[in-house]
């Protein structure tokens, strides 16, 4: 009798562990610098998610020896007032990194505000100057989430050079910079979006697949090339009944949040795990990397401004 071949599960990429590693590198770099780089996280209004994000960024900065602080402005802040505040932070020599938490209230143009941040202090990497450098393949402050994804891919030890990389999503904050970073490392990059024809066939070419869409279960097991590295950037909060569509009981209990809602990515994790070579979970994959890379960008900005 011929025994069925065992299903070999993908290796799980532990984003929390990689983020901890980066944080310890940042803390060591701060010690070497001999001064505490300054990071200011600006928040306008009372969006509850933004409050949490900004607080966590300032807290993490302090934990690692940076001078992190939050600048909270009222919902009614005018565009002119916010631009003036950004101008003050640009001129303040004790400030190395400035980030303005998005979204902004409707009276303020996010584009104008991002354009006003001094490129040397633009630790989110969203200023057109830094976007331009990134696409030219020159050293730049790269957006934190895609930069974090590169670290996760590197943690697998696979060779990026020459690999087929498929990026699903073409936003300015994830998809496009992701593709630019992979191209810098000599991957053959394909960018997919909502008009891509036969998405499954394109994904199947990928030795590396990065999903950054915002649609649960978009990437299914049949689409993935056996052994591929699958990175799930998606963060989708769905109803608890969604867990009925997951494959394993352990996943259901892992994901069930206290308030009954569930956080899932864009990848059908439980099934893709049986095909991929490496995979990031949600939560615990890309999520923890974003703040860690922000801290690293702040140290880089501080080093470069004083070089
Ligand atoms: P976004 O601006 O909404 O962009 C989504 C992209 O997906 C667009 O380019 C869109 O194409 C494409 N798309 C939509 N439906 C598609 C489909 N059926 N097939 C292929 N492509 C499709 O989103 P984002 O800001 O890049 O974020 C993407 C996801 O990542 C979200 O879930 C977000 O919450 C998450 N995220 C996570 C982190 C983290 O730290 N983990 C950070 C940032 C974002 P078009 O351009 O044609 O419309």
Give me the catalytic one of 60, 96, 122, 124. Answer: 124
Ligand 1 pocket, 212 CB below 6 A? yes
| Residue 117 phi, psi (nearest 5) | -70, 135
- Which residue, judged by its Cα, is nearest atom 14 of ligand 1? 194
Please say if the pLDDT value at position 261 is more than 60: yes
Candidate of 171, 197, 223 to mutate for ligand 1, largest count of ligand atoms within 8 Å of Cβ: 171
Tell me the H-state helices in the chain.
Answer: 15-33, 48-63, 79-91, 110-116, 128-136, 144-156, 175-184, 199-204, 249-255, 269-272, 287-306
226 contact partners, CB below 8 Å, separation of at least 6: 275, 276, 277
Domains of the chain in start order, with CATH, are 35-116 (3.40.50.10860), 143-288 (3.40.50.720)
Please say if the pLDDT value at position 252 is more than 60: yes
Gap from CA of 36 to ligand 1 centroid (Å): 35
Instruction: Encode pLDDT of 82-124 as tens digits.
Output: 999 999 999 999 999 999 999 999 999 999 999 999 999 999 9
Gap from CA of 24 to ligand 1 centroid (Å): 30
- Which residue, judged by its Cα, is nearest atom 48 of ligand 1? 194
Instruction: Encode pLDDT of 16-41 as tens digits.
Output: 999 999 999 999 999 999 999 999 99
For residue 60, give both structure tokens.
């993490």
Query: Can you tell me which atom of ligand 1 is nearest the CA of 214?
Result: 32
Q: Per-residue pLDDT averaged across 205-220, rounded?
A: 98
pLDDT score at 249: 60
pLDDT score at 1: 52
């Amino acid at each position: 009798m011929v025994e069925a071949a065992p299903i070999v599960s993908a290796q799980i990429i532990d984003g929390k562990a990689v983020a901890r590693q980066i944080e310890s590198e940042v803390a060591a770099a701060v010690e070497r610098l001999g001064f505490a780089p300054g990071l200011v996280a600006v928040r306008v209004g009372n969006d509850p998610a933004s409050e949490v994000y900004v607080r966590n960024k300032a807290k993490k900065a302090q934990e690692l020896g940076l001078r992190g602080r939050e600048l909270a402005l009222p919902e009614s802040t005018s565009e002119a007032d916010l631009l003036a505040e950004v101008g003050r932070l640009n001129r303040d020599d004790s400030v190395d990194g400035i980030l303005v938490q998005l979204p902004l209230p409707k009276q303020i143009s996010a584009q104008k505000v991002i354009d006003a941040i001094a490129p040397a202090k633009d630790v989110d990497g969203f200023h057109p100057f830094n976007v331009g450098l990134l696409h030219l393949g020159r050293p730049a402050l790269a957006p934190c989430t895609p930069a974090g994804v590169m670290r996760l891919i590197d943690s697998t030890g696979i060779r990026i050079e020459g690999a087929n990389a498929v990026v699903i999503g073409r936003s300015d904050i994830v998809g496009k910079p992701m593709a630019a970073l992979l191209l810098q490392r000599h991957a053959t990059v394909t960018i997919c979006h909502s008009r891509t024809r036969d998405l499954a066939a394109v994904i199947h070419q990928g030795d590396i697949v990065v999903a950054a869409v915002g649609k649960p279960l978009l990437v299914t097991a049949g689409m993935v090339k056996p052994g591929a590295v699958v990175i799930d950037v998606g963060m989708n909060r769905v109803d608890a009944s969604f867990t009925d569509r997951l494959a394993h009981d352990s996943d259901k209990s892992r994901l069930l949040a206290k308030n009954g809602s569930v956080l899932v990515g864009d990848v059908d994790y439980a099934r893709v795990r049986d095909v991929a070579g490496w995979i990031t979970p949600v939560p615990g994959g890309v999520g923890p990397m974003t703040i860690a890379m922000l801290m690293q960008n702040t140290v880089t900005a501080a080093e470069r401004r004083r070089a």
